[in-house]
Amino acid sequence: MKASSTHKTMIPKATRQLLRNYADRYETADFLVGDPSWFMHQVAGAENQEAMAFLASCLSYGNRQQFMPKNQWLLDCTQGDVHQWIANKKFTASLPAGDNQCFYRLYTVDMMHRFLLAYSRLLNQYGTLGRYVSARASTGLEAINAISAYFAQCDVSPVLPKDTHSACKRLCMFLRWMVRDHSPVDLGLWASFIDRRTLVMPLDTHVLAQSRQLGLLSTSSATMAAARHLTAAVAEVFPDDPLRADFALFGHSVLAIPSPLQRSFNARSISNE
């Protein structure tokens, strides 16, 4: 299944070329510097990479200078053995139940404990998150629904959305990491059962602004409908791999931001979903 075909506006030739040029320029190993995807490349083995990617995506919203150290803290706690740290409930020593101190923004320590406890149950029942998803999904949207449905039972909605009413930006980003293969950034661990043409563009307020500036979207709301509309639009340029446009939009934003500090840490603001 390809991206939604409801989008019918043809993208101007100059914009198409700009998107292709930016994608070529920015989908490189250098993209990892300062990006949350960097963390999944710091561990060995598919199980650890998948687990680290999932944790990193769940924490990646707000200011990068704040959430990147939190991801690093989790990586340090696991000592690189992320899968076993979760599956064997080793996280309880660092993130105890009942601790209502703030862990990160809307997340308390207790909420992180409950999230990881649910993730631990999933790993012990299915082996990996990928095995759980593969039995329930063959498209990006189905995968988002499957993951949301599992964690919705655990009352950790700030960490993961309960449904697809929002743009589900962090889950869409995680799926890009898991599904797109032959990339210096994305891992492609789920490429065998999710078609990359069905992935949904990770959409936050910043990507929304860039897309509006380029004439790819007209809405000002970061919703799932808008994310799918944008995906259909960029599929005109990248029909076999629509989310390659995520790198292009990143490139467009970098060139629009003059400050090196902003360029390193805040070029892509990541919203709550």
Listing DSSP states for 127-184 in one string gives SSHHHHHHTT-SSHHHHHHHHHHHHHTTT-TTTS-SSSSB--HHHHHHHHHHH--S-S
pLDDT digits (tens, 9 = 90+) for 92-108: 999 999 999 999 998 99
Please determine, for residue 270, whether its predicted confidence score (pLDDT) is greater than 90.
no
Residue 123's φ and ψ, nearest 5 degrees, are -65, -40
Mean pLDDT of 128-140: 98
Please determine, for residue 158, whether its predicted confidence score (pLDDT) is greater than 90.
no
Cα angle for residues 78, 132, 273 (degrees, 5° grid): 70
pLDDT at 251: 86
* pLDDT band of 9, cuts 50, 70, 90: low
Percent of the chain with pLDDT over 90: 80
Q: What are the distances in angstroms from CA 209 to CA 18, 186, 200, 212, 213? A: 17, 24, 17, 5, 6
Pair of tokens at residue 57: 């995506």
Please determine, for residue 267, whether its predicted confidence score (pLDDT) is greater than 60.
no
Residue found under tokens 């320590």: 109
- Hey, what long-range contacts does 138-142 have (CB within 8 A, 24 or more apart)? 138/1, 138/193, 138/194, 138/195, 138/198, 139/1, 139/194, 139/195, 139/198, 140/172, 140/175, 140/179, 140/194, 140/198, 140/199, 140/200, 141/198, 141/200, 141/228
* pLDDT band of 259, cuts 50, 70, 90: very low
* pLDDT band of 272, cuts 50, 70, 90: very low
pLDDT at 266: 43
Residue 34's φ and ψ, nearest 5 degrees, are 80, 5
pLDDT digits (tens, 9 = 90+) for 41-95: 999 999 999 999 999 999 998 888 899 999 999 999 999 999 999 999 999 999 9
In angstroms, rounded to a whole number, what is the distance separating the alpha carbons of residues 7 and 198?
15
pLDDT at 8: 59
pLDDT at 130: 98
Do residues 59 and 74 make contact, with C-beta atoms less than 8 angstroms apart? Answer: yes
* pLDDT band of 7, cuts 50, 70, 90: low
In angstroms, rounded to a whole number, what is the distance separating the alpha carbons of residues 169 and 152?
17
pTM of the model as a whole: 0.90
Please determine, for residue 198, whether its predicted confidence score (pLDDT) is greater than 80.
yes
pLDDT at 50: 98
Please determine, for residue 261, whether its predicted confidence score (pLDDT) is greater than 70.
no
Residue found under tokens 């409801």: 6
Pair of tokens at residue 56: 């990193």
